[in-house]
Amino acid sequence: MDEKIFFQAPEVLVSSSRVEISGQTFATRNIGSVKVTAPGVSIVAVLMLLVGAAAMAGSATGVGLFFLVVGAIWAYTTWARRELKLVAGGGEVLALKTTDRNHVEKIRSAIAEAISVR
């Protein structure tokens, strides 16, 4: 049987026989399922936002602004992060972390298609 390519991009290849992501290779036949998860906002980012708001309410506006900006950036990046996980006989494997939702969904879809035709 010839190897069929379902998805190919820099650092990612999904075919009927293998899945390569950032230098890791997985045999398609060993993958039971694939999923994308959203870990959620970091508690540290939320604390930074609270400290920033409290400092802004007080007299430390410079420090408060710093904590608000850094906390907001951190909260956004952790909120936007997506993790691609492969589930096999040995358990769950974190294969990719990214903030590009569209890209990770294309990879998930290609892997799901590859494991369904094996």
**What does the block give as tokens for 99?**
């903030």
Give CA torsion, residues 71, 77, 82, 85, to 10 deg: -70
Residue given tokens 């390569």 in the structure block: 20
d(CA 99, CA 45): 17
Tens-place pLDDT, residues 77-111: 888 899 999 998 789 999 999 999 999 999 999 99
Residue 75 neighbours by CB under 8 Å, 6+ apart: 41, 42, 45, 46, 49
Decide the pairing of beta strands 82-88 and 91-98. antiparallel
Whether this model's pTM surpasses 0.95: no
The pLDDT tens digits for 4-42 are 999 999 999 999 999 999 999 999 999 999 999 998 888
* Structural domains in the chain plus CATH codes: 5-39+81-116 (2.30.29), 43-78 (no CATH)
Rounded to whole angstroms, how far apart are CA atoms 82 and 96? 8
